Amino acid sequence: MTGSLLMLRSARLGIAVPWLARVMLTVAVAMTIAGNVAFGWAAGIRGILMAGWPAAAFLMNAKGSISFGRRSRSRRPEPAAVTQVAPADTAQVAHVAIQAAQHALRATVAAGNPLSGRQLAERFGLSRAQVANVRSAVLAESNGHAEGGE
């Protein structure tokens, strides 16, 4: 069973199957078939076929799973190409990210659990300086000290 799991994992990762996995599966199936056939020997050909069937069925199912893993891996669509942001648009993208970060921070401050600087940087792709500006502006608003306020 471990051999079939290793083979399935290799198929899903798209790597070569380790030789030991093939040996383990082959020996395990061969020993199971031999034991089952020996058990069914007394009942004749019908007993041999009935006793040998479970190991053969397992082998067919394992091979089917491994083949399915390889086929599904080869049919996965390629990731879309990353579009480059033009330098003229960089300032606009940064402005939108800062506005989104301010909005999110306002909402979390109002809820009583403000986002940390690290969370803002990770979620919105902001630099430390941008995070500091966002936090100071929003936290000043929440304390009633907003610029241009009444």
Structural domain including 14 reads 2-74
Does 136 reside within a domain? Answer: yes
Residue that is written with structure tokens 């500006």 in the block:
133
Picking from 121, 94, 119, 122, the residue whose alpha carbon sits closest to that of residue 109 is: 119
pLDDT, residue 150, reads 45
Does 107 lie in the same domain as 46? Answer: no
Does 41 reside within a domain? Answer: yes
pLDDT, residue 132, reads 92
Does 131 lie in the same domain as 103? Answer: yes
pLDDT, residue 73, reads 56
40, 74, 108: which is the final residue of a domain?
74
pLDDT, residue 74, reads 54
From first to last of the 150 residues of the chain, give the pLDDT tens digit.
677 778 778 877 778 888 888 888 888 888 888 888 898 888 888 888 888 888 778 778 877 777 776 665 555 555 555 555 555 567 777 888 888 888 888 888 888 888 888 888 888 888 999 999 999 888 888 776 665 544
Does 19 reside within a domain? Answer: yes
pLDDT, residue 50, reads 86
This prediction's pTM: 0.40
